[in-house]
Amino acid sequence: MSSPLIRIINSTFQRTTNGPHFFPNLNFTLQSINSKTPIIKPQRWSIIGPSNSGKSTFLQVLQGSHVSTPIAGRTYPALTEKKKYPGSAIALVDFSAQGAFGESVRGEYMSSRYESRRGATDLTLRQWLERTALHLPLYTDNFDFEAHVATKAADVPLEVVTEGLKLTNLLDQPVSTLSNGQGRRARIAQALLRGVDLLLLDEPFMGLDPWSIERLSGLIKRISSPEAASDSNKIASQVVVTQRPQDHLPEWVTHIAYLRDSKVLAMGEREEVVDKISERGIRIGDGGKEDDGILHKVYGTGKSIPGEAESGKASEEKQREPVVEMSGIKISYRDRDILKDFSWTIKRGDRWGLFGPNGSGKTTLLAIITSDHPLSYSQPVKLFGRSRLPEKGTPGISVFELQSLIGHSSPEIHQFFPRRLSLRKCVESSWSDTFITKPHFPPNGPKLVDDIFKFFEISPEEQKREFGECSVSTQRLALLMRAVVKKPDIVILDEAFSGMDEKLRDRCMEWLEGGLKDRQALIVVSHLDGEVPRVVDKWVRLREAGEGEGAVFGTRS
Ligand SMILES: Nc1ncnc2c1ncn2[C@@H]1O[C@H](COP(=O)(O)OP(=O)(O)OP(=O)(O)O)[C@@H](O)[C@H]1O
């Protein structure tokens, strides 16, 4: 029998010796798979719980963080045998909104993501992976990185990892320009390159398209198999993931710990825990998968209509004013076409879903609408009937005008939103020129803010809480409220519900169903059916480079 990788016996944890206790009397064992005594059935754990239940903290405990009482209650027998320390043998990859790439993006806001001339400190994916895998500094003057990388090999070949994560053709791209999903895959590649024994992945599937989920899921299964552990040419690492109760439960998960309020509600073999938890009325898995959902139609075999979506009520359709008119957009980076001859008209009252795999150009298109993309000046796009630059005596539409007409929530805004602002100030910043400048309230502004907080039952006391202190679920809610509160003509919800608890998400859906006015247009981006509001009735699906020509349009009905 091999020694366990982690053994926790009847231990309780604290952040500091005077701080509150969590996971009281925890017992947890993770068997190790190694080449000498392979165990037949690998243990693959999923730590499940709603937002704020302590999932990330649980991973930190496994990693060796936080004070354990008794100190000797938490040990790493298999690592000790190999003379390894948890710090070097265990990697925790969390995709928390801030600092996804550490120093390499240095607080640049999204408009800079699209600029072609980049600073010397902006690393390519290859440089970033090589430097972090070899524990080199990211930037140092007068240091010959190339020579250093050439003489030192990483524990695991770069190509093997990047191939497995579909990153090979992105290696020469600056890391700061990777799409959300690409960035997540890059973070996992970075950890794998370090050749760790245990990979702790905090919500790894969030924001990934169905194909990337399948690929990553397959990779996790492969690297954590006894076959990989016994073959020195293969990448091998045990894996523990966290997920929300409603997320799809991968078939390879063998063990579950279900958490609530930093306590373990049930722990053990998969089926046992699923049964035990369902007795309490909690459902695990498959909340985001609906066979009759809109995404089934978008990506499935359902018929789609090439060209612009048709509406049955043609005359009514004609009367509604367009708020966005794109005719023949073309975006390419170096030799890669992202969007080619793309046309799209969004009218008042439209409820659009914008779908497509990671990296297909959804965020880029939205950045053209919000004018965060420099190409919004030169591309054939009209916003509210006007171009960005003056045209035939008609003045161009300014960034400030656009800001007042558009409400926007996105992972990028989440990433850069100031953590010190209160929830109330976050929502009020809907009327500000920047996140932190004073809002230009209309007369009914404060009342609109009061009303929306009332709808979501957030008391004046709770409104004073700092954004950074709140759970990711509450942060996402605050950003959604910020996007909709001023009742803008265009509401853009880019993955606005990812990281949100199911109950809160449903309440947001209710708000959208009752709260949106006919003059408002809605654009939603999501990779999960459960996160597409029912009001969305039209869709456009982009394709990834090399996946086929052109976008496809369709309707829900
Ligand atoms: N400056 C740049 N240089 C090269 N490629 C870029 C640049 N900026 C963006 N890209 C690429 O453009 C493509 C579109 O990115 P975008 O963020 O719009 O995709 P997305 O559909 O929103 O993806 P996700 O679902 O992962 O958020 C990606 O492949 C990205 O790597």
Could you read off the pLDDT of 372-404 as tens digits, one per residue? 888 888 889 999 998 888 877 788 888 888 889
pLDDT at residue 196, as a whole number: 86
Binning pLDDT at 50, 70 and 90, where does residue 121 land? low
Complex ipTM = 0.96
Q: How confident is the model at residue 45 (pLDDT cuts 50, 70, 90)?
A: very high
- 30 vs 145 pLDDT, higher one: 30
**Residues composing the chain:** 557
Amino acid 228: pLDDT: 79
| Structure confidence at residue 106 (pLDDT) | 38
178 lines ligand 1 (CB under 6 A): yes
Mark residue 385 as left, alpha or beta (left: phi above 0; alpha: psi -120 to 50; beta: remaining): left
H helices within 287-361, ranges in order? Answer: 294-299, 314-319
Task: Give me the pLDDT at residue 145, please.
Answer: 66
Residue type present at position 493:
L
pLDDT at residue 143 tops 80: no
Q: Report in angstroms the alpha-carbon separations of 397 from 46, 75, 371, 433.
A: 49, 62, 10, 15
| Helical (H) or strand (E) element with 7 | strand 4-14
In angstroms, the first-to-last Cα distance of the chain is 58
pLDDT range class, residue 509, cuts 50, 70, 90? very high
pLDDT band at 154; cut points 50, 70, 90: low
Domains of the chain: 4-98+198-279 (3.40.50.300), 294-327+340-555 (3.40.50.300)
| Residue 155 banded pLDDT, cuts 50, 70, 90 | low
Tokens of 295: 């995404």
Give distance in angstroms: CA of 361 to centre of ligand 1.
6
The rounded mean pLDDT for the chain is 85
CA of 299 to the centre of ligand 1 (A): 20
Supply the residue whose CA is at minimum distance from atom 4 of ligand 1.
Answer: 333
Of 99 and 468, the one with more pLDDT: 468
> Hey, what are 317's tokens?
């359709």
**Chain segment 425-456, per-residue pLDDT in tens:** 999 999 998 888 899 999 999 999 999 999 99
Once rounded to an integer, what is the mean pLDDT over residues 516-526? 96
Distance, CA 358 to ligand 1 centroid (Å)? Answer: 8
What would the two tokens of residue 214 be? 């399948």
Question: What local confidence, expressed as pLDDT, does residue 65 receive?
Answer: 94
Mode of pairing for the β-strands spanning 406-409 and 381-383? unpaired
Contact indicator for 204, 95 with CB cutoff of 8 Å: yes
Which residues share a beta bridge with 329?
342
Task: Look at ligand 1, atom 5, and give the residue with the nearest C-alpha.
Answer: 333
Gap between the Cα atoms of 478 and 464, Å rounded? 12
Determine whether the shortest distance from the Cβ of 363 to ligand 1 is under 6 A. Answer: yes
CB of 371 closer than 6 angstroms to any ligand 1 atom: no
416: CB partners within 8 A, 6+ apart: 107, 109, 110, 435
**pLDDT at site 287:** 52
511/495 Cα distance (integer angstroms)? 17
Most confident of 24-38, 40-54, 377-391, 522-536: 522-536
Strand order of the β-sheet with 381-383 is 336-347, 322-333, 381-383
Q: Which among 539, 535, 476 is positioned nearest to 207, based on CA atoms?
A: 476
* Range of weakest confidence among 146-155, 159-168, 185-194: 146-155
Q: Which two tokens stand for residue 386?
A: 């006007």
| Structure tokens, 556 | 């829900």
Mutational test site, ligand 1, from 108, 298, 360, max ligand atoms within 8 Å of CB: 360
Q: Is the pLDDT confidence value at 208 over 60?
A: yes
**Exposed (0-12), middle (13-18) or buried (19+): which is 21, by Cβ within 10 Å?**
middle
Q: Is the CB of 333 under 6 A from ligand 1?
A: yes
**pLDDT in the model for residue 184:** 86
Name the percent of the chain lying above pLDDT 90. 47
Backbone angles phi and psi of 482, in degrees to 5: -60, -35
